[in-house]
Structure 1
Amino acid sequence: EVLILLALKDGAVFLQAQLDSIAMQRGIRWRLLVSDDGSTDAGPDILRAFASRFPPGQVRMIPGPGRGAAENFLHLLRAADPGAPFIAFSDQDDVWMPDKLARARQRLAECPAHLPALGFGHRLRCDSRLARPRPCSTPRRATGFRNAMVQNIAAGNTLLLNRAAIDLVLRHEAARAPVPLHDWWIYLLVTGAGGRAIPDPQPQLFYRQHRGNMLGACNGARGRLRHMMQSFSGRSRRWNDANLAALSSLRGALTPENRVAFDSFTATRRAPGLTRRLRGLRASGVYRQSRAGQLALWLLAALNRL
């Protein structure tokens, strides 16, 4: 059984299609927990009508914390059934492939039950009408903590966590500082603690692009330019500050090797002088998945905006 966590906020326009795609999941049992973060549209009514199609308790809705999408998802994680063996995260505006959960569950079966693990998958970005599907970029290099410190590749709308990963995140929720993105935080913590991040190269969902996207895809010339401009305007530095602050209070959760990498990267970001920052970046071993991403990482370090 998979417990699906869906963060809702004024998502009525596209919500029904996503709910229907959840209902069509094959080869697996599912339950749905929704956190409504103060919707002013018909989203909660759509959800209640959807819940009426299933046995009591299979679809539930709770009030959200009112502190943004990342905290809404982590609020859902804290409210989840402690016996759930697997947890998936759902956005309110995508459409899932019918075998999304079954495929992700199968890939996580490769890991021992005691090892924290997350599965994440490939997406097809499309327009608001689900037309013109095109593949999003996929990982070209290994997943791991040195990648997670500078890049989030585990998109939240594809995440599936095993019980060991769920317990790991929950154990450190009380001591965690605020983080910008729930999926990035989970990728950081699971890999930092020695867990695995397992990619699935097959498409899992249609990633709808519209004006209300929180981030949107960074594929295509326009998307890459937009994300690059946002990064160089200070977003990368702010997000790195937040992620590393959250990790700094949880250093004990990191493996010895990853504590060394964490300390090295933290010192590199604060190092005075161009040469020291670039040498430190190389020594820390952090990396992004693509050549363009790696070049942007060096430029951010050179400009002291990392």
Structure 2
Amino acid sequence: MQNPPFPAAMEPVNSAAGDAGSVAVLLCTFNGGNFIREQLDSIAAQGHENWVVYASDDGSTDKTLDILRQYQHSWGEARLLLSQGPRSGFSNNFLNVLQIASGRHAYYAFCDQDDLWHPAKLERALNWLKQQADNTPALYCGRTRVIDSTGKAIGFSPLFSKPPSFENALMQSLAGGNTMVINQALCDLLKETPANTPLVCHDWWTYLLATGCGGNVCYDPVPTLDYRQHDRNVIGANTSLKNRLSRLTQMLKGSHREWNSTNIAALNSLSPRLTAASSSSLRRFEQARNASLITRIKLMVTSRFYRQTLFGNLGLVVAVLTKRI
């Protein structure tokens, strides 16, 4: 059965951007029919009730759209708005729906289709975000509890203890996009991303812009959602030694160097928005990547680039020595 067409454009929502508690939940979907009801129910169970779901579907052929329309009918069209994604990857889908919601709310929460939000997720994020200046880009993110396809808890994402920074962001993403909630100032920065800019991942890009452009970042060590692992995950959780060894293997094969090239090109497209200190760090990193071994080591050490864990930093050392950064 063919799904009915999407509306040509979304109607304005009765949620003013000046409303200090208004949250746009940016839900990107693609064939998520197996788990999306549970995710929608967990959003509805939030202790913070001032939210609107913007669901952007990227061409689902299963029952995802039928389920979304059922919830839209139950909640009302002002509570759940549907749009069609650009069909050019999940990161572009998130940036697309961010453009749609921008300016209508005070805060924006990225949302995956198959997770389970804990009831206090939005409350914890807003408790910190409301303390940030309106004109300062602000990013709340954090740790997750990991569950299997049946909902059974199987572990936690790594606990990061080093401070967020641009020097860290150049080396790795800090947290999953499914944990991220941002303010309007950071939303405006993300909107400046030139159309069709290749990105490794929207969450890494968000962390890079927040730290590189003088923003504030909060990493919450308390998990606020259950991150579901199943055979259709686009990106899996980095929870086991096997997962970490797999990522180290990717790094040694050159994947991380390709990701860095992609991030650097994207950052250079927004170079006027970087702080002077961030621009300097970016230039030193670019120089180090193609320098001789001794110069490469010196630049990486003096620039104080780092990853969040001992294992990650050992992998970084190997990447530096083998010119895989």
TM-score range, shorter chain: over 0.9
Counterpart of 1:49 in 2: which secondary structure?
helix
The residue that corresponds to 1:240 in the other structure is 260
The residue that corresponds to 2:308 in the other structure is 289
Counterpart of 1:71 in 2: which secondary structure?
helix
Amino acid aligned to 2:224: Q
The answer to whether the 8 A contact 1:5-1:88 is kept is: yes
Q: State the distance in 2 between where 1:105 and 1:198 align.
A: 11
**Which ranges of structure 1 fall in alignment gaps of 5 or more residues?**
none
Q: State the distance in 2 between where 1:125 and 1:266 align.
A: 35
The residue that corresponds to 1:280 in the other structure is 299
**Which ranges of structure 2 fall in alignment gaps of 5 or more residues?**
1-21
The residue that corresponds to 1:249 in the other structure is 269
Aligned length: 304
Amino acid aligned to 1:293: G
Q: State the distance in 2 between where 1:99 and 1:255 align.
A: 34
Amino acid aligned to 2:301: R
C-alpha distance after superposition, 1:28-65 (max 9, x if no partner): 31100011111111111111111111122210111111
The residue that corresponds to 1:31 in the other structure is 52
* 1:1-306 equivalences in 2 (<5 Å): 1-170=22-191, 172-174=192-194, 177-271=197-291, 273-306=292-325
Q: State the distance in 2 between where 1:152 and 1:81 align.
A: 23
Task: For residue 175 of structure 1, report the CA deviation from its aligned partner.
Answer: 6.4
Q: State the distance in 2 between where 1:225 and 1:16 align.
A: 34
Q: State the distance in 2 between where 1:267 and 1:169 align.
A: 26
Counterpart of 2:288 in 1: which secondary structure?
helix
Amino acid aligned to 1:24: A
Q: State the distance in 1 between where 2:194 and 2:146 align.
A: 35
TM-score by length of 1: 0.96
Amino acid aligned to 1:146: E
Task: For residue 197 of structure 1, report the CA deviation from its aligned partner.
Answer: 0.9
The answer to whether the 8 A contact 1:35-1:72 is kept is: yes
Counterpart of 2:233 in 1: which secondary structure?
coil
Amino acid aligned to 1:281: M
The answer to whether the 8 A contact 1:144-1:196 is kept is: no
Counterpart of 2:143 in 1: which secondary structure?
strand
Task: For residue 176 of structure 1, report the CA deviation from its aligned partner.
Answer: 7.1
Task: For residue 295 of structure 1, report the CA deviation from its aligned partner.
Answer: 1.1
Q: State the distance in 2 between where 1:255 and 1:275 align.
A: 28
CA RMSD in angstroms, aligned pairs only: 1.3
Amino acid aligned to 1:112: A
Amino acid aligned to 1:59: L
The answer to whether the 8 A contact 1:176-1:249 is kept is: no
Task: For residue 226 of structure 1, report the CA deviation from its aligned partner.
Answer: 1.8
Runs of 4+ in 1 over 3 A off after TM superposition: none
Q: State the distance in 2 between where 1:57 and 1:232 align.
A: 49
Task: For residue 81 of structure 1, report the CA deviation from its aligned partner.
Answer: 4.0
Task: For residue 209 of structure 1, report the CA deviation from its aligned partner.
Answer: 0.8
The residue that corresponds to 2:6 in the other structure is none
The answer to whether the 8 A contact 2:102-2:184 is kept is: no
The answer to whether the 8 A contact 2:176-2:203 is kept is: yes
The answer to whether the 8 A contact 2:112-2:178 is kept is: yes
Identity %: 38
